[in-house]
Structure formats: structure tokens, C-alpha cells
Amino acid sequence: MATTQVLRSEWTKIRSVASTVWTLGLAAVLTIALGVLISILSRNEFNNMNARDRLSFDPTFISFAGMSLGQLAMIVFGVLVVSNEYSTGMIRTSLAAVPQRGTFLFGKVAVATVLAFVVGLATSFIAFFLGQAVLGVHRAQIGDPGVLRAVIGGGLYMTLIAMFSMGVASMLRSPMLALGILMPFFFLISNILGNVSATKKIGRFLPDQAGSKIMQVVTPIDDDTPYGPWGGLGIMVIWVILALFFGYVLLKKRDA
């Protein structure tokens, strides 16, 4: 069966290049380390907080704080998986071997997604447990309402970030261009749009802002976000589908 062959081939491709190991490794290490660090800082800060902040205190979400940095490595992973084909010229060899471009692209995305999910989920659980361990008395338990959802959601969030990057990379082809747009967007622009009151209403529909809602357990007091955790993740999924769809359409009609 052709699809199985393509999946097997893409697995060989992804496991045989060094960038897979260091991007995913970096994503895990950054997310966990920064999460632990911020958890320590938050525990020390708790006593200085006012009542309002204490009510909004979300130990689960705090242990995921490292994702703001870890997601950048996930973006690099997603971009490189796709754009390596273009930057090396491998794309012509690949498409000569698999002329069904849809099968080729979605086979590649499927393999990379599974890998990103495994790494993302493991990262999310480790970040949670280590984070809670250092939060001490303020910690959340995995059995608390919404916590397990948030932890699994952390893995899903990282996976979707990688998928969105794959879609964008297949539209833009060049790794430099794709990274040059995605990195500043997710690290700076999205945060600015989401925190400035004038643009907040639009900003929260961006993929990362909407998707990260899944990792929240305690809703901030004055929160007026019009979607819940799964709704937010749904918005992110729509972004991912759009990016991959346009990536596919362009791959389909473009000359390789």
C-alpha cells in the first residue's frame, strides 16, 4: 500500500537527520527548565501577592511557562522537516519517487506530527510534575478538575505549533523566510497584540493565544475570553488546517 510506503520512507528521513534530535531535544529542555525556574520564582513570590492575584494563581499554567520559549524550538522542528526538502534540492528526488504530492506532504506531516506529539506530551508531563514539585504547598494535583486536560493539552499545543509551522513552511519553502516570519510572530507580535488592550480582541484569536487556553486551569477573574479551553484549541486547529491546506494547494500546482 502506497501510503504505508510513504510513511515508512518519511520515518527514515526524519530519523536520519541531526536537526530532528536537536530541535525536539531543545523544545523539551527549554520548556521543562524554564517551567521549573518560573515555578520556583512564583512560589517565592506568592506571599507578596495581593488577594486578587492569589485567586487567579494557576500552578498548572505556571509550570508550562517554559513553552513560550520551547515552542520556538518546535517551530524550528516543523519548519525544517518541510523546508529541508527545498533547501537541499531533495524535493525533486522525493517527488520523483512519490509523484502523488498530497500523499507525500501528508505522509511527511503525519510522521512529524506523531513524533512531535510523543515529545510534546512527555515534555508536558515532565514540566507539570517537576513544576508542581518545586511549587510546594501551592501545587496542583493531577487529579484536580481540569488539570489532566491541561497537561495533555500542553502536549497537543506543542504538536499543533509544529503542524502550523509545517503548513507555513510548505507555503514559503525557504527555511529562512519561514523562520523569519514565524519566530518573531510567536515570540513578540502575538504577545504584543494579545496584551495591548486595543488589539486584544483580535489577538486572542491568533493560534498560540487561542491554543494556550487549553493549559489554563484557573480562569483569571476579569477574563472575558469568548471561548473555553477546547474552543481555544479548536481555533488553533482551524489555523493549522488552513496553513496545511494552502501549503498543499501551492505544492500541488507549483513546479518542483
Q: How far is the CB of 88 from another protein (least distance, A)?
A: 5
CA distances to 32, 78, 161, 199 from 116, in Å: 15, 9, 9, 31
Binding interface with another protein (CB under 8 A): 2, 5-6, 8-10, 12-13, 16-19, 84-85, 88-100, 253, 255-256
Q: Is the dihedral of CA 222, 47, 153, 193 positive or negative?
A: positive
Looking at the Cβ atoms of 60 and 84, the one nearer to another protein is 84
Looking at the Cβ atoms of 102 and 136, the one nearer to another protein is 102
Q: How far is the CB of 209 from another protein (least distance, A)?
A: 35
Q: How far is the CB of 248 from another protein (least distance, A)?
A: 15
Q: How far is the CB of 12 from another protein (least distance, A)?
A: 4
What's the CA gap between 56 and 170, in Å, rounded? 40
The three cell numbers of residue 235 are 481555533
Looking at the Cβ atoms of 8 and 54, the one nearer to another protein is 8
Q: How far is the CB of 219 from another protein (least distance, A)?
A: 45
Looking at the Cβ atoms of 10 and 58, the one nearer to another protein is 10
Looking at the Cβ atoms of 114 and 126, the one nearer to another protein is 114
